Chains A and B, each alone.
Chain A
Amino acid sequence: DRLQWPQISKCRSPEMETFSCFWTAGNFYNLTVPRILQLLYKKSNEEDWKECPDYITSGQNSCYFNASYTSVWTPYCVQLASKNEVYDKKCFSVDEIVLPDPPVHLNWTLLNTSQTGIHGDIQVRWDPPPTADVRKGWITLEYELQYKEVNETKWKELKPRLSTMVPLYSLKTARDYEIRIRSRQRTSEKFGEFSEILYVSFSQIVIGCDHCTEEVEFPWFLVVVFGVCGLAVTMISIMLSKQPRLKMLLFPPVPVPKIKGIDPDLLKKGKLDEVNSILACHDNYKTQLYSDDLWVEFIELDIEDPDEKNRASDTDRLLSEDHLKSHSSLGVKDDDSGRASCCEPDIPETDFSASDTCDATSDSDPFKKATEKEEDLLCLDRQDNDESLPSLANTDLQRQHRNTQSENSHLWAPFGDSSESPRPSVHTQISNQNSLASTDFYAQVSDITPAGRVVLSPGQKSKLGRAQREACTEQNFTMDNTYFCEADVKKCIAVTSQEENEPHGQEQGYNEDGYFTTESLTTTVANLGASTAAPPSSEMPVADYTSIHIVQSPQGLVLNATALPVPDKEFNVSCGYVSTDQLNKIMP
């Protein structure tokens, strides 16, 4: 046998008023002279070891400290020693060693039984251990109940609770149960001993049915298996079925990325000009959208585009000059883009390549001047640079040659037609020459160079003019709006200038950028030399914004003539495309 030293097995306080320590003697007794073990104790603030006051009350090999010797939150040390040797030592404080006695007076009462009489509910009650002074609040106990059927081995546990009664539901009346309870101090971890076992038997109270001793257990397994199979079959059949609505209901499609205001069909069909025009109006898209890589993709898309004109123009641009790359790749073909950004497209086709755009300037030196303006991205910052205009006109002409001639002739012609019809209303839009910011105008971005500069295209004016020539004369510009349909203006005004420019090629007033400032319009009209130019009438008060008459997203808006209260300047006037958010701000 191994030699076992005497040890202190545990120290315990049942109610936080007294405590006892227990030890084991080991097997010294047999080997040597019976030693007399002593338990010595010391409080933390004392120096001398004192002997145990009571060896008897707690039984053999124990020491009992009654209430007068017990201080609860004071550290104690006890040691097991004989005359010479110290065998074991323990230090603790009484609040740490609380293990309550078991509850007493367990009993149960029947609450109710099920209709078939197979199951029943009972309520179990008990009293707290008598030693624990719960009534004065000196100790707070919580109880844990365990129960099981008589012939089972594993106890079922309930969560510890403070109350001294607990219901047990759904016990089988045909079986007998055993219940036991133990308690612990509320913030401790260790439980005290279990109480005596309480036997629960229904036979005396409930007349159980003899034939229902063996109840049928619910065939959970079968239910689950068949349920899963059925569900799988249903799902498969739904997926395979041709019913789109049902499919949508049960398997909704994952939403694809979507940009507000852009019809995904546009992207599919390769109508990048409109997409770009819309995107250009969103600040974050301005420069990021264009890069050399994108250009490559765009090129490919263009090839696939069934629209010949697009292709032709792109190809032309590609082949003719290096910087042409910038134009075509980006796919910001003006064409109707101006229209798309602003008004309802009167001309359905968007195939016209942007013959003349701000990008034209990029090709030439004069463009460098214009590059400054280009930084505004929409050529908004066009100064009234006479010098640049001629150069623009030059390049514009060059570009015209590059483009399909017929197209150009179409483009130019309408301008000429409408030049005869002065639009005095245009003059009302005269604003300071130098501050474009105060002018209300918008233009179509036809292209964006790889450098990130935006080139505006005047193309639509020609196209618009062409298609709308008839309607032009009838158009009544209500110039109290600062916004008016670009299409309308372009077709009427630009056509005017366009025609003039063609023969001269140096028309200053000609705004090749596909957009026009009020001054350019004015000069355009004025330069025509026709009697068209009417002196600017007195400026009429103009509203900064107008309400939308028709929204044809993503192709543009048709604005109402009614004046609206001027909203904040944050309105991106230059864009010409009013986003719905901005509109919501201004619309009452």
Chain B
Amino acid sequence: GLLLAALLVSHMLLTKEGVTSMPICPNGSVNCQLSLEELFDRAVKLSHYIHFLSSEMFNEFDERYAQGRGFIAKAVNSCHTASLTTPEDKEQAQQIHHEDLLNLILGVLRSWNDPLIHLASEVQRIKEAPETILWKAAEIEEQNKRLLEGMEKIVGRVHSGEVENEIYTPWDGLPSLQLADEDSRLFAFYNLLHCLRRDSHKIDNYLKVLKCRLIHDNNC
């Protein structure tokens, strides 16, 4: 019985496209230092996982709370990270220097640190929030931290010059998540989740572009 349960759980986890555990040191490396390729591989896996979770969480939230409230029409909103000028199309992504792009990625990740913490805690106060949403919020928050660490490692490797000023935008949306009016509060969540999905997609894309550019020489 116990074995069967263990097998089921492991199967579920593996098919979830989650982040599986990877060996810390690939065989043969003396200093136990990961190659840049390995670092990028892990970063891309993490960013993909985060975007996948954000997508699902948004869809679930949309299904459960946003139907019939007309949120979609209002969703032409601006996210708190809009002030960071990030590449908006392929041309811009091709032209930007990889160090700048890395710094931008770091900036977006840092800017999401705070909102994710509050999202994970405030989402629990939503009336009858499904367990899946709660779990995903917590998971995204944790994985974002890990991705941030990984990116800082990559930046440390790749960066040639001095570290620039930290790019970061503060988030002031906490009061809107705590509004008394349920409709307004849910709308605030909807916007936040929408922004999260978008930004996680950005990060995922930028990392893939960088990986193909730096590691595979534009030949993925």
Contacts and interface: CB of A to CB of B under 8 A. Distances in A.
Contacts of A136: 90, 94, 209, 212-213, 218, 220
Interface of A: 16-17, 44-45, 67, 70-75, 77, 89, 91, 93, 95, 133-138, 140, 186-187
Given A91-B72, A135-B219, A137-B209, A44 B78 contact: yes
A89 B94 CA distance: 33
A67 B75 contact: no
Contacts of B94: 136
Interface of B: 48, 51-52, 55, 72-73, 75-78, 86, 88-91, 93-94, 198, 201-202, 204-205, 208-213, 218-220
Contact of B48 (A75, A93, A187): A187
Given A91-B75, A135-B220, A74 B212 contact: no
Contact of A187 (B201, B202, B212): B201
Given A16-B90, A93-B198, A187-B48, A75 B205 contact: no
29 contacts: A16-B90, A44-B76, A44-B77, A44-B78, A45-B78, A67-B90, A67-B91, A71-B88, A73-B88, A74-B88, A75-B76, A91-B72, A91-B75, A91-B76, A133-B90, A134-B220, A135-B219, A136-B90, A136-B94, A136-B212, A136-B213, A136-B218, A137-B208, A137-B209, A137-B212, A137-B220, A138-B205, A140-B208, A187-B51
B88 A72 contact: yes
Give the interface SS of chain B, mostly helix, strand, loop or mixed: helix
B89 A67 contact: yes
Given A67-B91, A74-B88, A140-B208, A95 B220 contact: no
Contacts of A17: 89-90
Contacts of B78: 44-45
Nearest to B88: A71
B50 to A, nearest CB: 10
B198 A73 contact: yes
Nearest to B79: A73
Contact of B213 (A16, A133, A137): A137
B208 A70 contact: no
Nearest to A17: B90
Contacts of A134: 220
B41 to A, nearest CB: 13
A127 to B, nearest CB: 14
A45 B205 CA distance: 23
Contacts of A138: 90, 93, 205, 208-209
B55 A187 contact: yes
A133 B213 CA distance: 13
A357 B90 CA distance: 97
Nearest to B74: A91
A566 B109 CA distance: 63
A385 B78 CA distance: 90
Contacts of A45: 78
B76 A135 contact: no
Contacts of A95: 198, 201
A44 B191 CA distance: 14
A291 B91 CA distance: 87
A135 B212 contact: yes
Contacts of A135: 212, 218-220
Nearest to A77: B76
Nearest to B15: A159
Closest 9 CB pairs of A and B: A137-B212, A71-B88, A137-B208, A75-B76, A137-B209, A44-B76, A137-B220, A138-B90, A91-B76
